[in-house]
């Protein structure tokens, strides 16, 4: 029995933790940073004030995780972020293709508690800190009301990934809140005060069809939305409520301290919307719907942004500027909203989105405070102007930056450096290298790793795909949109004429306009440079078209790095095209289609000079659609060689960057042969999990739970042809094999199984290490 005698005052229970890094905030930025740091070998305390992880992506808020893939609605091909965030999304896809937010919670929790180097404190809110010097944090204080315990968290390094920047704020770090003027950074898209200041909060709700009439009596606090919400719009009962992201409010308030008031206003709107849906008579189909869930804490978009040694601005995003210290990338549009949100004028769009022609790098100097020496910043609070934040704020981008912070923290601990000191060139190269090894993609960089034993091996393969033809399958399809087949140009194609043969069907004689296009930047996939235009006369019925292209005469590409070409066929309603069931790593068809979810209306064409580019959108269609065009190539495409597995790139960029086996090869194998026996402790393999697939985590169902390109079965043999490792049922991008005892062998043979009859086995990368 415990008896509390009368006393003047008591202190709560106090628990003290010391670690290398304290990460505050368990959103995806903090979580991916903590896992990356822990896996790299340092001790981490991850403290978050919520009962589950994931921040805005958790079941508490239910936003889908997106980043540069942008719902597949812009021209960023193969742009899903790599590293831990990729692992989480791929795992979620495998277990949860129907996007249940509760399952996503379990995946995040599982991944964190599986890391022995992480101490996880849930339901624990950081509220105070102490400094050892004016510019150095010594410890933060946190409190968990569930166990009535106060925590003192001591570390040499802290990462603020709390969304509102509680640590940075308390520590006196320089920050901004609200939109900059156009003049400050020369950002032409910077909003005028009448339009924008901060992005507001939103609350989501879920509805459910219970198959019988359900009555709804609104709470007295619900707004009459017909009076209060000028922008009230249509409601699609099939969407079960959750796409009403535009129920947004608070952009002119203090989005930190007024959050509770903002939430109340949003509840009034949400219940008012539901009342309107149920009781206005305009939605008879909603009769059997009930409210299943309403958010209790709002999704926050914007509050403080902290100042680092570099501030990302609009021009970095639009011009895709390269920085010596790029450690992450973004690719969501610059997505700003009217500050009045749901209460803004009729006719005012709820968002204003402008895309870049490709992904852009985010420098390391955006990820630490410029005046608090041991403070990293991650997530939506990184050092970015309001306009650039409009793009960098989304969760996969935030998570990718968080990973860079996690790895930076590890290097700081290892080298005894502070975050700013790590920004020196020599250290940045080491940071980028360690990140690339985890699968983190960084624009314009490839992994150069002299510890990797594969670099000095002789590589051979049982076969290499030399693609002569994408074989026709099924009936020819009418042209709903203009279509383009993307295919990688081999170096020879820049010097010598090549031929593409295909067989369009015409309902009657007609002309078909065909263009050969490339991108103005090697790693971009915006077909903004038209090299050749050919108009082909078609006869009724099946036509056999031989297109000859001679790129040697084009100054633009002569001597350039070979990249993707787009065989572009303009829409013609009298024409049907033949597609192929064959899917191959690094080959895609794209369509000049519309995707309103990301403000893609086929072409981006700003009327005013707002500092963004005019260009067309050419995007893939989601499976099961989006097949390759049936085409023949002369000469055949020989870009899938075995040497690709050590070119330092783990996804398609300007070329597929993969070894792809021949379809006819019944046992595809790659052999690494050394001149003398090697001691090998670790093997790292990178597979194709379709980096083009956005893998949205809520609301959307996905047609498959394993990516069709991904090799599931792998066997690894030593120089005695003994099996030393085996992977079964793989669905992940990166697999690491660590041998209990170092093995000695002069060769390794990696045997892969084709994923399916339509998809040949492929491998982006293999690396081997002695330790």
Ligand X SMILES: Cc1cc2nc3c(=O)[nH]c(=O)nc-3n(C[C@H](O)[C@H](O)[C@H](O)COP(=O)(O)OP(=O)(O)OC[C@H]3O[C@@H](n4cnc5c(N)ncnc54)[C@H](O)[C@@H]3O)c2cc1C
Residue ranges binding ligand X (CB under 6 A): 24-30, 47-50, 55-56, 63-66, 125-126, 161-164, 166, 202, 245, 299-301, 379-380, 393-396, 398
C-alpha distances out from residue 667 to 663, 751, 755, 761, Å: 10, 7, 12, 10
Minimum gap (Å) between residue 47 Cβ and ligand X: 5
Minimum gap (Å) between residue 166 Cβ and ligand X: 4
Q: In the complex with ligand X, which residue's Cβ is closer, 209 or 254?
A: 254
Q: In the complex with ligand X, which residue's Cβ is closer, 379 or 527?
A: 379
Contact 637, 501 (CB under 8 A): no
Question: Rounded distance, CA 749 to CA 758, Å?
Answer: 24
Question: Rounded distance, CA 654 to CA 768, Å?
Answer: 25
Q: In the complex with ligand X, which residue's Cβ is closer, 413 or 695?
A: 695
- Say how many Å lie between the first and final Cα of the chain, rounded: 55
Q: In the complex with ligand X, which residue's Cβ is closer, 394 or 422?
A: 394
Minimum gap (Å) between residue 604 Cβ and ligand X: 19
E-only strand ranges, 225-266 = 248-249
Closest CA to 465 of 638, 259, 277: 638
Minimum gap (Å) between residue 671 Cβ and ligand X: 42
Contact 679, 748 (CB under 8 A): no
Minimum gap (Å) between residue 297 Cβ and ligand X: 8
Question: Rounded distance, CA 354 to CA 352, Å?
Answer: 7
Q: In the complex with ligand X, which residue's Cβ is closer, 120 or 575?
A: 120
Sole residue written with tokens 């020369």:
186
Q: In the complex with ligand X, which residue's Cβ is closer, 49 or 515?
A: 49
- 3-state SS, one letter per residue, for 180-198: CCHHHHCCCCCCCCCCCCC
- 729-742 burial code (b ≥16 CB/10 A, e <16): ebbbbbbebeeeee
Question: Rounded distance, CA 533 to CA 513, Å?
Answer: 7
Minimum gap (Å) between residue 272 Cβ and ligand X: 18
Tell me whether strands 118-121 and 44-47 are parallel, antiparallel or unpaired. Answer: parallel
Structural element, H or E, at residue 735: strand 734-752
Closest CA to 156 of 416, 492, 531, 484: 416
Q: In the complex with ligand X, which residue's Cβ is closer, 579 or 691?
A: 691
Closest CA to 680 of 354, 468, 453: 453
Q: In the complex with ligand X, which residue's Cβ is closer, 50 or 365?
A: 50
Minimum gap (Å) between residue 697 Cβ and ligand X: 9
Cis, bond preceding 624 (omega within 30 deg of 0) = yes
Which pair of tokens denotes residue 695?
Answer: 């893998």
Question: Rounded distance, CA 626 to CA 623, Å?
Answer: 6
Contact 552, 445 (CB under 8 A): no
Question: Rounded distance, CA 60 to CA 38, Å?
Answer: 26
Contact 761, 770 (CB under 8 A): no
Q: In the complex with ligand X, which residue's Cβ is closer, 101 or 562?
A: 101
Cβ neighbours of residue 625 under 8 Å, at least 6 residues apart? none
Minimum gap (Å) between residue 260 Cβ and ligand X: 14
Sole residue written with tokens 């409520």:
241
Minimum gap (Å) between residue 537 Cβ and ligand X: 46
Closest CA to 279 of 293, 265, 294, 289: 289
Minimum gap (Å) between residue 141 Cβ and ligand X: 10
Q: In the complex with ligand X, which residue's Cβ is closer, 56 or 99?
A: 56
Minimum gap (Å) between residue 334 Cβ and ligand X: 13
Minimum gap (Å) between residue 335 Cβ and ligand X: 9
Contact 31, 53 (CB under 8 A): yes
Q: In the complex with ligand X, which residue's Cβ is closer, 341 or 562?
A: 341
Q: In the complex with ligand X, which residue's Cβ is closer, 64 or 663?
A: 64
Cβ neighbours of residue 555 under 8 Å, at least 6 residues apart? none
Q: In the complex with ligand X, which residue's Cβ is closer, 24 or 435?
A: 24
Which pair of tokens denotes residue 200?
Answer: 């507001």
Contact 88, 111 (CB under 8 A): yes
Report how far Cα 175 is from the mean position of its chain's Cα atoms.
26
Minimum gap (Å) between residue 7 Cβ and ligand X: 30
Question: Rounded distance, CA 328 to CA 400, Å?
Answer: 6
Minimum gap (Å) between residue 53 Cβ and ligand X: 7
Q: In the complex with ligand X, which residue's Cβ is closer, 70 or 578?
A: 70
């Amino acid at each position: 029995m415990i008896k509390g005698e009368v006393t003047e005052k008591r202190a709560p229970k106090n628990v003290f933790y010391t670690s290398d890094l304290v990460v505050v905030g368990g959103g995806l930025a903090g979580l991916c940073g903590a896992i990356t740091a822990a896996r790299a070998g340092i001790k981490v305390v991850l403290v978050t004030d919520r009962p589950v992880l994931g921040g805005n992506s958790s079941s508490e808020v239910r936003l889908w995780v997106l980043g540069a893939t942008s719902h597949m609605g812009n021209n960023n091909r193969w742009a899903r972020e790599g590293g831990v965030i990729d692992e989480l999304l791929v795992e979620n896809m495998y277990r949860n293709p129907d996007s249940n937010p509760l399952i996503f919670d379990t995946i995040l929790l599982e991944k964190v508690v599986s890391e022995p180097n992480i101490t996880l404190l849930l339901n624990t809110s950081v509220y105070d800190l102490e400094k050892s010097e004016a510019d150095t944090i010594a410890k933060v204080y946190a409190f968990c009301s569930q166990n009535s315990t106060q925590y003192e968290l001591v570390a040499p390094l802290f990462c603020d990934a709390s969304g509102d920047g509680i640590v940075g704020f308390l520590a006196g770090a320089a920050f901004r809140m609200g939109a900059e003027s156009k003049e400050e950074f020369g950002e032409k898209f910077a909003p005028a005060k009448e339009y924008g200041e901060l992005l507001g909060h939103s609350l989501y709700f879920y509805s459910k069809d219970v198959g019988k009439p359900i009555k709804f009596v609104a709470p007295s606090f619900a707004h009459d939305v017909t009076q209060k919400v000028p922008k009230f719009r249509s409601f699609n009962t099939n969407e079960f409520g959750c796409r009403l992201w535009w129920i947004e409010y608070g952009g002119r308030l203090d989005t930190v301290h007024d959050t509770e008031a903002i939430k109340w206003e949003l509840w009034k709107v949400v219940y008012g919307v539901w009342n309107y849906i149920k009781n206005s008579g305009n939605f008879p189909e909603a009769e059997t719907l009930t409210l299943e869930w309403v958010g209790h804490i709002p999704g926050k978009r914007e509050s403080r942004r902290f100042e680092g040694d570099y501030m990302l601005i609009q021009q970095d995003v639009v011009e895709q500027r390269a920085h010596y210290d790029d450690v992450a990338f973004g690719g969501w549009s610059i997505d700003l909203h009217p500050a009045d949100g749901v209460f803004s004028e009729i006719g005012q769009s709820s968002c204003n989105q402008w895309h870049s022609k490709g992904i852009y790098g985010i420098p390391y100097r955006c990820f630490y405070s410029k005046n608090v020496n041991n403070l990293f910043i991650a997530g939506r609070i990184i050092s970015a102007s309001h306009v650039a934040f409009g793009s960098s704020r989304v969760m996969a981008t935030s998570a990718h930056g968080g990973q860079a912070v996690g790895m930076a923290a590890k290097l700081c601990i290892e080298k005894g450096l502070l975050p700013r000191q790590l920004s020196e060139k020599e250290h940045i190269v080491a940071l980028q290298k360690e990140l690339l090894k985890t699968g983190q993609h960084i624009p314009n960089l490839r992994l150069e790793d002299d510890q990797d034993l594969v670099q000095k091996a002789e590589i051979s393969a049982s076969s290499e795909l030399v693609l002569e033809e994408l074989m026709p399958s099924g009936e020819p399809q009418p042209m709903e949109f203009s279509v383009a087949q993307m295919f990688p140009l081999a170096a020879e194609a820049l010097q010598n004429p090549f031929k593409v043969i295909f067989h369009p069907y015409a309902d009657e004689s007609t002309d078909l306009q065909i263009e050969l296009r490339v991108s103005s930047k090697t790693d971009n996939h915006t077909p903004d440079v038209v090299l050749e235009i050919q108009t082909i006369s078609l006869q009724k019925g099946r036509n056999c078209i031989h297109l000859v292209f001679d790129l040697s005469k084009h100054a633009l590409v002569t001597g350039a790095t070979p990249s993707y070409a787009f065989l572009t066929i303009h829409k013609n309603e009298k024409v049907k095209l033949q597609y192929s069931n064959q899917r191959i790593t690094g080959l895609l068809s794209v369509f000049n289609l519309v995707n309103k979810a990301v403000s893609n209306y086929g072409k981006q064409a700003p009327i005013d000079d707002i500092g963004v580019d005019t260009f067309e959108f050419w995007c893939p269609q989601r499976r099961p659609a989006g097949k390759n065009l049936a085409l023949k190539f002369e000469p055949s495409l020989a870009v899938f060689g075995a040497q690709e597995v050590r070119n330092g790139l783990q996804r398609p960029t300007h070329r597929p960057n993969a070894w792809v086996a021949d379809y006819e090869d019944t046992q595809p194998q790659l052999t690494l042969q050394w001149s003398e026996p090697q001691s090998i402790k670790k093997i790292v393999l990178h597979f194709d999990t379709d980096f083009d697939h956005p893998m949205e985590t809520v609301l959307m169902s996905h047609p498959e739970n394993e990516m069709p390109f991904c090799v599931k079965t792998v066997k690894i043999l030593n120089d005695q042809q003994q099996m030393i490792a085996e992977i079964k049922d793989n669905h992940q991008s990166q697999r690491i094999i660590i041998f209990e005892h170092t093995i000695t062998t002069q060769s390794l043979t990696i045997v892969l199984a084709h994923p399916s009859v339509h998809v040949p086995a492929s491998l982006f990368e293999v690396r081997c290490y002695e330790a």
